[in-house]
Amino acid sequence: MEEHLALTIFSVCLQAAIGMMVFVAIGRLLNKESVFKNAMLTASGLGIIGMLASLLHLGRPLRAINSLNQFGTSWLSREIWFTAIFLGLTIFTFGLVYVKPKATSVITGLSGVAAVVGLIDVYLMASIYNSASVPIWHNVSTYVEFYATAISIGAMLFLVFSLKEAAKMRKILAVTVGIVVIIQVASTMLFLISSGVNSSAALQSSLAILGGMKLATAIKWLFILAGAGSILWMAKDELSKSFKGAIFSGAALVLIGQIVGRYLFYAAMVVTGVGLS
């Protein structure tokens, strides 16, 4: 359980940070006067928390250094490099906001680079699990889950920490969260349908594990759908006094739902061969 918790914290925090930087970059392109200082600070903090959680998972953090020189052959090595670059760019960009706030073009450019590096990093993280000897992770749903977490949590937290600056982006962000959640649901349904005819003993064992965690699965989807639904419902009237409340409650629901979902992702692991590549 402790191992799953560390991995859950690492992946969710890092992906949330990446999602926030994606919207920081978009927001700065749409409105050059916006700074999104609080969002950058939060993204930096989440990235640091994620990195610390990953070190706890490794048990012997110094061993991670051995993976750095395997960039050409190891998904894990690539993920470590891109995570470090993303976090470095995010922290540096946030620092630049304070040191040279008038360097708007540079800050906007660095935000965009950090966002692109982060999105690549999400792909690399998903590829680690997609190439592992765990049949339940061998499908496009793994990629969808990781990107859905990054975009949905990132958008919601971006709204929470940029309420005034992102005022003109509220409907766009709400619709984005709604679309991402719909894709996530559709991907899961297609995966479950295809899994029903798969004869892999390990896959069926993983499905049995999930079947025994019906409450957690229900919480995942109820919270994600309720969070996305609330923000979509209120977004139709941006001037509504209850829109602020919908943002905070929706963000909390989506965050909890995706965290539970990520824990289930790791809890369902049943290995058929050697470990991660």
Question: pLDDT per position in the chain (277 positions), as tens?
Answer: 556 788 999 999 999 999 999 999 999 998 878 899 999 999 999 999 998 888 775 554 555 556 666 666 678 889 989 999 999 999 999 999 989 988 899 999 999 999 999 999 999 999 999 888 899 999 999 999 999 999 999 999 999 999 888 888 888 999 999 999 999 999 999 998 888 776 678 898 999 999 999 999 999 999 999 999 988 877 766 545 566 777 889 999 999 999 999 999 999 999 885 444 4
Residue 265 CB neighbours (<10 A): 23
Q: What is the 3-state secondary structure (H, E, C) of 218-273?
A: HHHHHHHHHHHHHHHHHHCCCCCCCHHHHHHHHHHHHHHHHHHHHHHHHHCCCCCC
What pLDDT, on a 0 to 100 scale, did the predictor assign at position 241?
57
- Domain 2-267 - what CATH class? mainly alpha
What pLDDT, on a 0 to 100 scale, did the predictor assign at position 178?
94
What pLDDT, on a 0 to 100 scale, did the predictor assign at position 127?
95
Residue 226 CB neighbours (<10 A): 15
Closest by CA position to 49, among listed 1, 94, 15 = 15
What pLDDT, on a 0 to 100 scale, did the predictor assign at position 67?
62
What pLDDT, on a 0 to 100 scale, did the predictor assign at position 277?
40
- Which H or E run includes 66? none
What pLDDT, on a 0 to 100 scale, did the predictor assign at position 126?
96
* Distance in angstroms (rounded) separating the CA atoms of residues 105 and 123: 28
What pLDDT, on a 0 to 100 scale, did the predictor assign at position 166?
85
* Distance in angstroms (rounded) separating the CA atoms of residues 176 and 127: 24
What pLDDT, on a 0 to 100 scale, did the predictor assign at position 272?
81
* Distance in angstroms (rounded) separating the CA atoms of residues 119 and 125: 10
Domain residue ranges in the chain: 2-267
